[in-house]
Structure 1
Amino acid sequence: MNAPRTTERHPLHTFGQPVLDRRQTRVKAAWIGIWLIFLASPVRDLVEGGHGTAATVLGALGLTAFVGCYLALVFRYTTRVHEWRVVYVTFTVLLVLAVALALGMGSAWLGLFVYAAVSAGAVLPMRRAVWAIPAVTVTMMAIGMRDTGAADLFPGLGVTTLLVGFAMTGVRQLIRTTVELRQARATVAQLAANEERLRLARDLHDLLGHSLSLITLKSELAGRMLPAHPDRAARQVADIEQVSRQALVDVREAVTGYRRPTLAGQLAGARTALAAAGVAADVPLEAPGPGPAPDEEREAALAWALREAVTNVVRHSGARHCAVTLTRRQTLAGPVLELAVEDDGMGPAPGAGHGSGHGNGHGNGLTGLTERLEAVGGTLDAGPGSGGRKGFRVAARVPLGPDGGGQPEPAAAASPGVLGSSA
């Protein structure tokens, strides 16, 4: 049996989000701290540069303060800034330390200006960063030209300082755009939930408001008719029973409609589930159109097939990539809509037969899907990946059109309405 696949978020999936726990803090600190390797030149100069004791101690203290200011800027203020005064003061201290250490300790310390440019690109407003980064580069060049000519200094360290600084502005913009997109997604989800609650409230009011009012009125009439007119009261009670039964039927039909999954909803859910599991997904945005569409029962059957297939990919396949395709096919029995879910995981268990799923114990789910699809005139195929590729493929087909056309047969050629691809 294949090992279940965890749906725990990878630490790097929190890109663009503030850290929430110690684990994420360690990951972000490691990601930022790895770039401190470029401080090897100042550290080597401290150890081997032949400076006096006082200069070495002051240089070490200055370097420690510089690293502290740099980490404070890029760790805390890359995503969101609440106190701009703190940012400006910290950046000023960072730049002053870089100038003082480069002037006092020598050209080996010019690399500190690269970190100053990175800090400017990471946290300063864009309109100020575009001036601060060239200013940092010019300051570095002015100090470095005491020992090295501009022709030697600029193509190397000068260009690096400029490029890294402006590259960081792009990374900062990407991070903040990601934050805004996450917030927009949460807002859209909340609005959708509110709209669904309002729709449910309206439907319940329309279904039950009149029936409950009528039941209340007839109950009052029956109460007033007793005991003087028991026959008339009995008729009112019979009407109450009839109205309540009809209300119960209406509620059951409404609940059935709410519970019936839609293909569009399951496509959105598939994208979310696969992304949360760390599986690269290629999922179409919507069902094919224009053209004949499956009715509600057949669409629900495809939606259940998609849910079951994606659940198997997430839990059991160990896949890195999953492709979902929706294809219109013309068969001898009429047009069909085919839903295919294919992954590059471990495939069916050794010795498993056709339609057995990703491993032992998963045949019941596919058997239930087969029965559900057959009830609406559809078919289900499940087995190894197409073309002999590694992985597992599930293909569900339902007939299109009003009559369904009986059991559809697989077709070799697809119409142009293919929405997904396994790119």
Structure 2
Amino acid sequence: MAGRERRWNPWRAVMEVRDDATYTVGIGAEPDNRRQMIVKLTWIAIWFAYMAAPVDDVLSDHHTRTGDVLGGLGLLAFVAGYLTLVLRHTVRALDRGLVLLCLGGLTTLATLLSLTLGGAWLVLFVYVCVASGAVLPAKLSRIAIPLVTGVLAAIGATQPGVSDYLFALIVPALLGGFAMTGVRQMALTTKALREARATVAHLAANEERLRLARDLHDLLGHSLSLVTLKSELAGRMLPDRPEEAAQQVADIERVSRQALVDVREAVSGFRRPTLEAELAGARTALAAAGIAVDLTGTTDAHPDLPPDEEGALAWALREAVTNVVRHSGAHRCEVSLAEDGDEMCLTVTDNGRGPGGSPGNGLTGLTERLALADGRLETGAAPRGGFRLRACVPLSRPVAEAEVQAQQQS
């Protein structure tokens, strides 16, 4: 069995082939290396097979030596102009005036060579139509392609022996020109999609950076505030109360270790705090800061609160407690959690200095976090002085209960 697995299977090899960016060139994309340039030139050169008629006319003895030389130079100039338009303009747009000048030059060359050297050169008008469809906007190409085809038909009608195959030139001119118009639109669409994808990736990276900044601010702001408070307590307890100071130092170690775990989880994107854990942390942080805390309004369980909404309220509680400890100068803080209609609202009220100036980074990030959970944030002065933060998120109720409540309200 092992030897059979190692045996080369041509069908499997074919089926497992994947696109290699070094070989392929996306529609509307600029070649990145020499290999991609060769691939693009090869695809364009395939269509030069239709140049066999004018090349044979130059190499044969149908004209004088001077006519053959001038015809060969004119053909080279035509090919150079055509490649400039089709190869360069489809990658990096040329100036509109330069595009019209090149198309006018190609049309002039095709006209002069067809009138002076014969009907074999009428095929050049097909390339003019293709170039017009490739480089002109749709509105202009719908005019230019029939116009060039009309010149082809008019000159072909004056050339002897051309009427037999004139229709075989008019149809490719029209079809090729309008087909390239579609290819141009597809290239523009592909380019727009590629730019949109790059923009989306950039926005996603910015959103991830904002998420990390918001999480790290919430995590470290709370933990470092608690570490600072307990460090100050330990310093005041030394040397008179070494046992209590040692307990504070142990708490500092525990908070620091937990902060490290939280930061790792936040960076990994797996951090989702719970109200139960944050309420316990709030009690510890406020007690360490010497602030009396009332948590009697948070004892009820709330099974209808979805995990994302609960996480948003937990972050709100952490940010509110951090602000109370660091900025409020309060002596008392009250935390309540209650239903308000179809919302669950967390309210944190203190008796400190009250609202200050513009909201800081923490409240701004908290507003964004609640908005992701379809919630809202309200801040302002408390009814009896101080500051009040109120965060609300929608509840998710069972369908049967929601129908009963709707019937009762009706």
Same fold flag (TM > 0.5) = yes
Give the counterpart letter for 1:215 in structure 2: V
Q: Does structure 2 conserve the Cα–Cα contact (< 8 Å) formed by 1:141 and 1:153?
A: no
2:63 maps to 1:44: no
Instruction: Identify the residue that residue 65 of structure 1 maps to in structure 2.
Output: 77
Q: Give the distance between the partners of 1:6 and 1:196, measured in 2 at CA.
A: 34
* Greater helix share, structure number: 2
* 1:74 aligned to which of 48, 63, 86: 86
Which residue does 1:88 correspond to in 2? 100
| Larger CA deviation: 216-225 vs 27-36 | 216-225
Check whether the contact 1:121–1:129 (CA below 8 A) recurs between aligned residues: yes
1:176 aligns with 2:188: yes
| 1:211 and 2:217 matched | no
CA distance in 2, matches of 1:208, 1:77: 54
1:154 shift after superposition? 5.0
Q: Which amino acid aligns with 1:202?
A: R
Q: What does 1:97-176 align with in structure 2 at a 5 Å threshold?
A: 97-147=109-159, 152=164, 154-176=166-188
Q: How many residues align?
A: 260
Pairs within 5 Å for 1:5-404: 8-9=20-21, 11-147=23-159, 152=164, 154-254=166-266, 257-258=269-270
Q: Rg bigger for which structure?
A: 2
Higher relative contact order structure (alpha carbons within 8 Å, sequence separation ≥ 6): 1
In the alignment, what sits opposite 2:375?
none
Q: Distance in 1 between matches of 2:123 and 2:106?
A: 13
Superposed CA offset, 1:124-165 (max 9, x none)? 122111111011001111111112589745532112211111
Aligned-residue RMSD, C-alpha: 2.6
The answer to whether the Cα contact below 8 Å between 2:156 and 2:163 also exists between their aligned partners in 1 is no
Q: Deviations over 1:261-298 (max 9, x none)?
A: xxxxxxxxxxxxxxxxxxxxxxxxxxxxxxxxxx9xxx
Asked if structure 2 preserves the Cα contact closer than 8 Å seen for 1:141 and 1:150, the reply is no
Amino acid at match of 2:151: T
Q: CA deviation at 1:39?
A: 0.5
Structure 1 gap ranges (5+): 260-294, 296-423
Secondary structure at the aligned position of 2:32 is classed as coil
Closer/same/farther in 2, CA of residues 171 and 256 from structure 1, 3 Å limit? closer
Name the CA distance, whole Å, in 2 between partners of 1:79 and 1:201: 39
TM-score by structure 1 length? 0.57
Q: Which whole-Å CA distance do the structure 1 matches of 2:17 and 2:156 have between them?
A: 53
Structure 1 residue aligned with 2:326:
none
Q: What is the TM-score of this pair, normalised by structure 2?
A: 0.58
CA distance, structure 1, for counterparts of residue 92 and residue 103 of structure 2: 16
Cα offset for 1:206? 2.2
- Alignment identity in percent? 55
Give the counterpart letter for 1:221 in structure 2.
L
- Answer whether contact 2:25 2:36 (CA < 8 A) is retained: no
Instruction: Pick closer, same or farther for the CA change 1:37–1:192 going to 2, 3 Å.
Output: same
Gaps of at least 5 residues in structure 2 are 1-5, 272-306, 308-410
1:11 CA displacement? 2.3
Work out the CA distance in 2 between the residues paired with 1:6 and 1:249. 44
**Matched AA of 1:170:** G
